[in-house]
Amino acid sequence: MPNPSRRTSTDLFSGVNVSLRPHSRYLINMQLRGCGTALVTPFHQDGSIDDAALRNLVAWQVESGIDFLVPCGTTGETPTLTHDEWLHVIDTTIDVVAGRVPIMAGATSNSTRDAVEKAKEVATRPGVDVILTASPYYNKPTQEGQYRHFKAIAEAVGDKPIILYNVPGRTGANIEPATLARLAEVPNIVGVKEASGNMAQIAEAINAVPETFLVFSGDDAVTLPVISLGGVGIVSVASNEIPHEMANMTRAALNNDWAAARTIHRKYLPLMQANFIESNPLPVKAVLAMMAKIEENYRLPLLPMRRDTRSKLQKIVMEAGLIAKPAVPAPEAAEFYIYENWTAGPHKIVLHRGSCGQCNQGKGRPAGHDANHARWHGPYATLAVGRENAHGMTGVLIRSECKCV
């Protein structure tokens, strides 16, 4: 059950546009909780950004009731974007959103100097409400190194709120709960997207930080347990595909309507898991292409999904109702034929289906066929009519039916 001492009925953001002051956190002009979409970045086949698809995707997200948007995170293939493209995706998102939902813009580098410059640049965008920044990747800093890295970013952007992103599976660096507690003392470090996959660590982290510190799940499948521990929502991959449903599930959990939340979770858990059947964002972009939202294009080193995993994904997507199941072709009308043969021995007939290899819709030539001593009768619309005609034929000594019948 949720911890009643954390984030219950009051808004986390007051609705008053004021600056942050030490230990009076999160007072910005929009509420940040619920479900936010880690947006994919659509590309054309030539690798350029598909502006029309990006705009349509952002508009659909807002119209579907998503709570906030996260351009240029991992799901957005940000490592493959140039500096200008990174800003373009953020600016396009700001333009389409037009202030309707908060924007949490990604700004990450494994060089603290570069991360500071990126954060300062994106902080000047009027439509950016929060900055999301991940642990330095590849160079594997210590806990103290991560602390100083994030503190430098926060201090460089003044009052602009910062959300940390802990995803050790990608960065090779884990933000431990004790380090997170230290970072929570920095006035404008307001929360964390926790994607460690370690529920014990997430529980410990939630207990280590102030009650007003925002903890978002970074994994769709564990959104409900994170909220039950005191989290405030999810930065979601699945909401690219099902924004309305993910937003409703998250709101239901935050409102203590666990029956409704679990119902949605049960229905879409296979999709949440399938989004990681191969490296993110390969599956989610494949699904969006199946839904005709984007073209399925990636930038190297990412490649399209393998055929076997794509087939599994498509089945899950159909079962979730996101795309139509292929129409089952109407069965061909069954026709029946009688083969009459008096070439040698007793006069005999054999009843066949028209689709039988020997019959071939009354054109077949069975072994020993002699056109002067054999012929086909039919077609007959049903088996019953075929049998009736077979029994009515005179002069026949042997009546039988092919195994096809």
d(CA 50, CA 360): 52
My answer on whether omega of the bond before 136 falls inside 30° of 0, hence cis, is no
- For the chain, state the CA radius of gyration: 32
Pick from 193, 195, 221, 191: nearest CA to 209:
191
Cα-to-chain-centroid distance, residue 235: 12
Q: Which residues, in sequence order, are bridge partners of residue 191?
A: 163, 214
d(CA 49, CA 169): 27
157, 120 in Cβ contact below 8 A? yes
280, 238 in Cβ contact below 8 A? no
144, 127 in Cβ contact below 8 A? no
Characterise 165 by phi-psi region: left (phi > 0), alpha (psi -120 to 50), beta (else).
Answer: beta
Characterise 65 by phi-psi region: left (phi > 0), alpha (psi -120 to 50), beta (else).
Answer: left
Structure tokens at 62: 């807002």
d(CA 75, CA 57): 14
Q: Which residues contact 237 (CB under 8 A, 6 or more apart)?
A: 38, 75, 220, 272, 275, 276, 280, 281, 284
Q: Just list the catalytic residues.
A: 165, 193
d(CA 45, CA 43): 7
Task: Kindly give the pairing relationship between strand 130-134 and strand 162-166.
Answer: parallel
